[in-house]
Structure 1
C-alpha cells in the first residue's frame, strides 16, 4: 500500500490529480465494493486542473465524502483500512505518505462533531503521513479535550505521534493558518514541550525548537522567561534554545542575545 515515492523533479501539486484518484479508488474498492470509482475519478479530474496543492487536496477530500457512506464513522472506518504500514523512518510523510493527505483533510473537515473517533484517526494517520494540519480545528474547538489526548501522546512509543504534540500546536506552522497559544496562554504550549526537550528523536527535538521560535514571535517574554530556567550544561537543550531563538537572534534582540551568551 505504501506505493511509489514522490519524484522531486515533479511539482507536489501534480500528484493530487487523476493518478491519485485512481490509486485511492483501487485502495478503497476492496474495503467498500460499492465505491463509485468511475464517478469519483471523473469528478476529481473535472475540477483539479486549475487548482494549487491545497485546492486539489480539498477537492479529493470532498469527492471522497460524496462517494463514501454518508455516516461519518462508517466512511472513516473504510478510510482507515487504506492507511498502509506505519512509517518506520523520520522522513517520508510528504513522499511515500503523500497519498494520505486527502484522508487527513477529510478528518479535519468532516470529523469535528465526532471528536474521539477523529482524534484516534489522526493518531493513526500521523504514524504514516502527518496530522499536524488536521488537528488544528480540534485544538480550537476542544482545547481541554485535546490537551488530554496530547498529554498522553507525549509518551507514545512512536516518534511521529510525539512530534505531532509539538508540530500540531505550533502557532505559526508553515502552510497552515496561524493559531493562538492553547487556550490563549503560551504556558500551555510550553508545558507540552517540556517532556520533549530530551526526546530521543532529533526529528522531535527539531520540532520543539521550531515551536519555540514561533512562540518568541508572539509571546516573547513568556518564552524567554521559560528558556532562562532551562539553562544548564546540556548540549541537547542548549541546541534547542539556540535554534528556538534564531529569529530573535537574527533581529539582534538584546534579551535573546543575553540569554544566548550565557549558554
Structure 2
C-alpha cells in the first residue's frame, strides 16, 4: 500500500522547520512551536496537519506581518544553505494567507519567492478572493518571469477549481480576467507550465463549455504540436461529454454510416481481474471518417443506481468501406477514488461523443476482498 499522504507532514519535519527558522531568528521560540505543531498531529489528515502547523506559526512568529515575512524569507533555501522547502511550505502558505491580507504587496512578493521551493498556489488564492483586480494586476506580470515556477504560479494559482484548495467563485462565474494570463503562457517553453494552462482551461470548461470551445477554435489554427497537445488536453472534459464544437476543433464530426458491434467474451467479471471487450467497426459510408473512440463504465452505486465514468481510448481514421477491430481490457481492481459494488454494470462505446453500442456485465465480489 502507498504511504498515506498525511505522512508528508510529520513530527521530524516540524522539528526541522523549527531549526531552520531559529537559525535566522534567534528569538524564535522553537520549543513552543514544536510542541504546538506536533500536539495530536498523528490523528490528523494532511490538510488538518498543515492547519495545526500554521496555527503554531501564528502563535510563535511576530504578529507584525512584515517582520514575520522577513524571517520566513530568510528561512528559504539559498545557495549552500538549507532552508524551508517542499511540504514544509504548505503551512507557510496558509500562514501568509491568514496574516498577510493587510500587507498585500509584501505577502504576494513572499509567495512569489516561496513558489520555486514548493508552490504558492494555495496561499495566493485568499488574495485573489479578497481583491481580485489588485491580485491579478500583480500576477499578470509574472507571465514574463525568468523562473518557470513563478510563471506556473500565474496559471495554477488562478485556476477557478484548483483541487485541495478554496474555489474562486468570482472566476468560476466569470473567468475572462484570467484568459489573458493563459493566452500569454500557452506557448511557454516549459511543459510544466503548459500543463497548468491546460488544466485551468479544463476547469473553466466545466462551467463555461462554449467559451472554452470557442477559445480553442481561436488558437488551434496552425498550432505547434505542443500547443495542439495543450488545447486537446484542455478540451478533455468537453470531448468526453461530446461537445459538438470541441469535437469539431479536432476534426471529429458526427459519425455517419458507421457500423459498430460490441462484443463481451465473458458476461461476468471477478473483482480484481479485468473486463475484456472488443468492438468491430465498419465505415459503410463513401468518405473517410476520423473517429474518437471512448467508452463509459456505468458503475453500480450503493443504492443500486448506475454512475457513468468515461475513459479515453483511441482515435482512428477509417477509409470508405474499411473494417477495424479494437480490443481492450479494463481493470476492475481496488483504487482509492472509487468504491465498487457487485451487480450488473453497463458499458457504452462512445464514438465522436455519441453512444454507439452498449452491453452489460456482472461484477462479482469475493468475500475476502475489501473494496474502497
Aligned to 1:133: 122
Shift in Å, 1:183: 9.0
Aligned to 1:17: 10
Provide the C-alpha distance between the structure 2 equivalents of 1:245 and 1:64, rounded to a whole number of angstroms.
41
Aligned to 1:52: 45
Q: How many residues align?
A: 247
Provide the C-alpha distance between the structure 2 equivalents of 1:203 and 1:164, rounded to a whole number of angstroms.
11
3-state SS, counterpart of residue 24 of structure 2: coil
Aligned to 2:212: 223
- RMSD (Å) for aligned C-alpha atoms: 2.0
Aligned to 1:240: 230
Contact 2:37 2:55 in 1 (8 A): no
* 1:53–1:27 distance in 2 versus 1, CA, 3 Å: same
TM-score normalised by the chain length of structure 1: 0.88
Shift in Å, 1:198: 0.8
Contact 2:154 2:181 in 1 (8 A): yes
3-state SS, counterpart of residue 212 of structure 2: helix
Aligned pairs for 1:171-210 within 5 A:
171-180=160-169, 182=171, 184-210=173-199
Q: Which runs of 5+ in 2 are unaligned?
A: 80-84, 253-289, 291-372
Provide the C-alpha distance between the structure 1 equivalents of 2:200 and 2:213, rounded to a whole number of angstroms.
13
User: Which runs of at least 4 in structure 1 moved beyond 4 Å after TM superposition?
Assistant: none
For 1:155-200, what per-residue CA distance to the aligned partner results, in whole angstroms no more than 9, with x for missing partners? 0000001101110111111111222354943221211111111101
Instruction: Pick which of 179-188 and 35-44 moved more.
Output: 179-188
Provide the C-alpha distance between the structure 1 equivalents of 2:48 and 2:99, rounded to a whole number of angstroms.
16
For 1:9-61, what per-residue CA distance to the aligned partner results, in whole angstroms no more than 9, with x for missing partners? 53332232311221011101121212222222122222312211111111111
Provide the C-alpha distance between the structure 2 equivalents of 1:46 and 1:214, rounded to a whole number of angstroms.
37
Aligned to 1:258: 248
Higher helix share: 1
Contact 2:172 2:207 in 1 (8 A): no
For 1:223-263, what per-residue CA distance to the aligned partner results, in whole angstroms no more than 9, with x for missing partners? 22222111222222211111010111112222211222179
Higher strand share: 2
Contact 1:211 1:244 in 2 (8 A): yes
Higher-Rg structure is 2
3-state SS, counterpart of residue 10 of structure 1: coil
Shift in Å, 1:125: 0.7
* 1:181–1:155 distance in 2 versus 1, CA, 3 Å: farther
